């Protein structure tokens, strides 16, 4: 039965949403993509950045699906603005972007000996350029800490953004303690961002393997907003489950809600799924209840921006009502997210800050005397969540405390993500053998 729904999932067609490179250094991201190469060349010509400068690429998701356009920058403030304006979006992706913004801020302190500072370097806009003797660790730390706070507040609901900034600051603190200078730290931060990008894909693939085991053959899956590859470094959380399950012959069709008011589902999710070759049907947000009442949905899978310790979930506005409808129709409601999305400092969802977005997202011109209520997120009670799909397995809300472990080193995080994929693959092999 499962073989009847086998889908050749074309992940090779999906673009990378974020990437960090150094100008002039080899990168397959640049050499394998003519569009990216031309964007970098244009940026180098316009900004006159010297070789070795770290630059951050972001797929402009405001332009999708009409245009696949990248923005390239060495300016951390451009990244902050990109996070605020949804150029880069999705909890995992903005977590990486947050760390990248800290790295770009740190690169502004990169020093060169005065006698080596040529005219081209002098024309690069940087807040601080000093020689080695002028490096002040105290000023450096204060500036980076201040910038990290600004970056983290760009979108306050997603805990991953703060986590990304904190990971970058932790590396800076360690390096300063060991006597490193600005140049050493800049290289370490660049490596950290690259590690986070690779780590995120591994985590997402592990989430996909864990969640696919909970879908039956020929499942019809409903999803909301975009928790796909576009929202991560690559592969996706909720859609990561879909891609893995589709490759196993378990997905008949995906129903994607349009997700008002910015239409991430209608603009991004259906475009991404279509590129990957997964059968997809678009729904208006007010059609989900009717579809579930007809028995046309086997599971709902969504992502998350922050999960409280008790399992309350902050996600795109409208998720709460979707969970209510799913519960009323006895449809399993799954939340797929990395363990890092769980904020164990919050006992429940009442403490999650909810970002308020501009009224122009709802209506182009607000009539006089009219106010617009436009929260970007709502909080779904843990009681409505069937289970949480993470890279470390699938958990009920009262089991999440098992995931409250001390912060790991970056190397341990990377190894844990790789081990999670290995463990999930082994579990699937055992399950297949048992079913034969």
CB-based contacts of 357, cutoff 8 Å, min separation 6:
261, 374, 375, 376
What's the CA gap between 393 and 391, in Å, rounded? 6
Q: Span 317-329, mean pLDDT?
A: 98
What's the CA gap between 236 and 214, in Å, rounded? 17
pLDDT value, residue 406: 57
C-alpha closest to that of 243 among 221, 266, 267: 221
- The tokens for 287 are 């059609």
Residue 402 scores a pLDDT above 50:
yes
Q: For the ranges 88-92, 197-201, 432-436, which has the lowest average pLDDT? A: 432-436
Element (H, E) at 334: strand 333-336
- The tokens for 351 are 């403490």
Banded model confidence at residue 135, pLDDT cuts 50, 70, 90: confident
What's the CA gap between 216 and 5, in Å, rounded? 11
Q: Span 281-285, mean pLDDT?
A: 98
Instruction: Indicate if 200 belongs to the active site.
Output: no
pLDDT value, residue 410: 59
- Write b or e for each residue in 20-29: b if 16 or more Cβ atoms lie within 10 A of its Cβ, otherwise e: bbbbeeebeb
Mean pLDDT, rounded, of the chain: 90
Residue 19 scores a pLDDT above 60:
yes
Residue 8 scores a pLDDT above 60:
yes
**Catalytic-labelled residue, pool 75, 166, 175, 305:** 305
Banded model confidence at residue 109, pLDDT cuts 50, 70, 90: confident
Cis-peptide into 65, omega within 30 deg:
yes
Cis-peptide into 349, omega within 30 deg:
no
pLDDT value, residue 435: 38
Banded model confidence at residue 75, pLDDT cuts 50, 70, 90: very high
C-alpha closest to that of 217 among 431, 16, 433, 3: 3
Banded model confidence at residue 412, pLDDT cuts 50, 70, 90: low
Residue 423 scores a pLDDT above 70:
no
Banded model confidence at residue 121, pLDDT cuts 50, 70, 90: very low
C-alpha closest to that of 333 among 243, 211, 427: 211
What's the CA gap between 249 and 235, in Å, rounded? 18
Banded model confidence at residue 82, pLDDT cuts 50, 70, 90: very high
**pTM (2 d.p.):** 0.90
pLDDT value, residue 49: 82
What's the CA gap between 413 and 339, in Å, rounded? 11
């Amino acid at each position: 039965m499962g073989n009847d729904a086998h889908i050749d999932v074309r992940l090779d067609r999906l673009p990378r949403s974020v990437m960090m490179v150094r100008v002039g250094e080899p990168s397959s991201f640049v050499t394998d993509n003519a569009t990216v190469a031309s964007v970098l060349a244009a940026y180098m010509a316009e900004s006159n950045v010297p070789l070795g400068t770290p630059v951050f690429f972001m797929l402009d998701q405001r332009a999708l699906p009409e245009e696949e356009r990248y923005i390239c920058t060495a300016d951390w403030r451009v990244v902050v603005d990109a996070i605020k304006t949804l150029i880069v979006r999705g909890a995992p992706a903005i977590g990486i972007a947050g760390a990248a913004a800290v790295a770009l801020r740190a690169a502004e302190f990169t020093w060169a000996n005065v006698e080596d500072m040529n005219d081209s370097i002098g024309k690069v806009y940087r807040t601080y350029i000093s020689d080695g003797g002028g490096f002040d660790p105290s000023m450096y730390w204060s500036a980076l800490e201040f910038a990290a706070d600004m970056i983290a507040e760009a979108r306050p609901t997603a805990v991953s953004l703060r986590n990304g900034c904190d990971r970058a600051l932790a590396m800076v603190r360690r390096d300063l303690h060991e006597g490193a200078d600005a140049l050493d730290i800049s290289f370490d931060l660049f490596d950290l961002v690259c590690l986070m990008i690779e780590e995120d894909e591994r985590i997402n693939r592990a989430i996909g393997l864990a969640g696919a085991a909970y879908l039956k053959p020929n499942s019809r899956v409903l999803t909301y907003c975009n928790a796909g590859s576009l929202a991560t470094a690559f592969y996706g959380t909720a859609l990561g489950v879909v891609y893995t399950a589709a490759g196993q012959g378990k997905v008949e069709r995906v129903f994607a809600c349009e997700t008002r008011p910015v239409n991430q589902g209608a603009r991004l999710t259906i475009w991404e799924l279509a590129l990957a070759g997964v059968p997809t049907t678009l729904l208006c947000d007010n059609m989900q209840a009717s579809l579930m009442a007809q028995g046309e949905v086997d599971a709902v899978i969504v992502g998350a921006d922050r999960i409280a310790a008790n399992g309350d979930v902050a996600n795109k506005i409208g998720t709460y009502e979707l969970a209510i409808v799913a519960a009323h129709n006895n449809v399993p409601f799954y939340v797929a997210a990395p363990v890092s999305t769980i904020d164990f400092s919050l006992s429940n969802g009442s403490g999650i800050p909810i970002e308020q977005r501009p009224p122009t997202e709802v209506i182009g011109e607000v009539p006089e005397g009219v106010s617009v209520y436009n929260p970007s997120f709502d909080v779904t009670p843990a009681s409505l969540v069937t289970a949480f799909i993470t890279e470390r397995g699938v958990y009920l809300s009262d089991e999440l405390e098992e995931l409250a472990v001390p912060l790991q080193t970056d190397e341990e995080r990377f190894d844990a993500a790789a081990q999670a994929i290995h463990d999930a693959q082994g579990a699937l092999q055992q399950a297949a053998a048992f079913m034969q």
